[in-house]
Amino acid sequence: MVARIVSTRTDAEVSLADTFGSAKATLPGNAVVKEMRETAFGAFAAHGLPHRRIEAWHYTDLRSMMREALPLAPLPDVRALEAVRVELAAAILPAGPRLLIVDGTYVPTLSDALPEGATVRSLADVLAEGRADLIDKLAAAKFAVGDSIVALNAALMQDGVVIEVAPGAVIAEPIHIVYATAAQTPVARFFRSLVVVGAGAKILVTESSLGAGGRVGQTFGALIFDVADRAEVGHTCMMTKTEPGSLRLDTFIAELGADVTFSSFALVHGEGLMRRQLFLRCVGDNTKAALNGVSLLKGRDHADTTLDVEHIGLGCEGRETFRYILDDSATGVFQGRIRVAPGAQKTDGKMMSRALLLSDDVVMNNKPELEIFADDVACGHGATCGGLNEDQLFYMQARGISRAEAESLLLEAFASELADNIGHEGLTAAFRAEVADWLAARTVKG
């Protein structure tokens, strides 16, 4: 009798192993980076795609949801880049330099120069050069330990940008990282970018997608911030208009020094499967950090926001506020954990998730957590789910406003409030316009 070996790996996991095996020789990086890639893929292979038995992925069972792994995106050719250039020229973006990443590859010819005090290089060049300090920051080994998707991104990262901001530099306009796609068929793209902010510097970085960029196929992205003392950093992300059947997994990582002011806001809406996971460490004293986001979900959308905030320094303040609007048969996930290390006294941390449920068929999963190992702290969390306030709707209808318009006004106020705290008029207007478009589409459908 001949024994038969039955593989426990899924088709997607087998395809990812084949992709790494065939692509690793051509992926950028020196010998140290190539070893790092091998180690990262080994970590992925040991765990496979995350599933519901892994606590952080309990509500987003990727092993069952990701049925196939698409081929790695090829380098965009001249014809494809011309189409992106035309689309970029027609795009309406707030003022500021644009850095184009097309199918995972940074394209300098479509990008703008950065102002004095900031420099940008392609990830591929940095990996080939092998500068030890930058490679260490890109590896982000202290974050997301055991997370197989972060490991997969490290193994297959094709390109991205590395931005360095000089100490004391003030960059007046936001730097736009714009994702676009040129492939004619669905592909998988892997990019990883790093922003190193010097002491006392000030910068605002935004992420958005151009046309179908990052909205079709499979996207595995990572953005890492390394922020020195006394810096002021803002960040925004539009994770919007993904297409049916698409998959987008974004990882956001930030390490903050002392006396830093840091804020991040994200708008999430679209079809398919979306997950943003955020890892933030306040290592210096007296730092203030805010993570905010809004998810607008309808149809069978699935959007997962999972965050891990670690306080290590003294006297730090953390504010995490996330809001959801769910309609039809959509599924929302919010998982948030605040960790206070031993000795991180005077930590002030607050986390809140609020969801408006517009249908009996929606699902909202909330799981806030606190892990506190210091005795002089003020930390708390909360989560609410409910419908629109009928008293407010009645009040508005009594003054001649239709119920549909009254609902839209209340929903717009609920969704747009957090965008008002971005601190940049042009970006706030852009986010408000996205919210208005989503609400208008919902009204037309209704």
pLDDT of residue 419: 92
Alpha-helical regions (H) of 252-384:
none
pLDDT of residue 2: 47
Cα separation, 144 vs 322, whole angstroms: 21
Quick one: tokens of 129? 């050069």
pLDDT in tens, 290-339: 999 999 999 999 999 999 999 999 999 999 999 999 999 999 999 999 99
pLDDT of residue 445: 60
pLDDT of residue 7: 54
Quick one: tokens of 399? 């003054």
pLDDT of residue 184: 80
In the chain, what are the domain boundaries? 11-284, 391-446
Residue 31, helix vs strand vs coil: helix
pLDDT in tens, 100-122: 999 999 999 999 999 999 999 99
pLDDT of residue 421: 87
CA 48 to chain centre: 21
pLDDT in tens, 334-392: 999 999 999 999 999 999 999 999 999 999 999 999 999 999 999 999 999 999 989 99
pTM for this entry: 0.95
pLDDT of residue 181: 86
Spell out the residues 6+ positions from residue 61 whose beta carbon is closer than 8 angstroms to its own. 50, 51, 52
CA 258 to chain centre: 24
Confidence band of 212 (pLDDT split at 50, 70, 90): low
pLDDT of residue 183: 84
Cα separation, 177 vs 140, whole angstroms: 20
Cα separation, 10 vs 265, whole angstroms: 35
Confidence band of 3 (pLDDT split at 50, 70, 90): very low
pLDDT of residue 446: 55
Q: Taking all residues of the chain, what is their mean pLDDT, rounded to a whole number?
A: 93
CA 137 to chain centre: 18
**pLDDT value at 6 more than 50:** no
Mean pLDDT of 51-71: 95
b/e for 384-400, b at 16 or more Cβ within 10 A?
Answer: ebeebeeeebeebeeee
Closest of 233, 232, 287, 289 to residue 258, by C-alpha: 287
Spell out the residues 6+ positions from residue 168 whose beta carbon is closer than 8 angstroms to its own. 117, 198, 199, 200, 201
- Rg over alpha carbons for the chain, rounded to the nearest Å, is 22
Closest of 232, 379, 382, 281 to residue 322, by C-alpha: 382
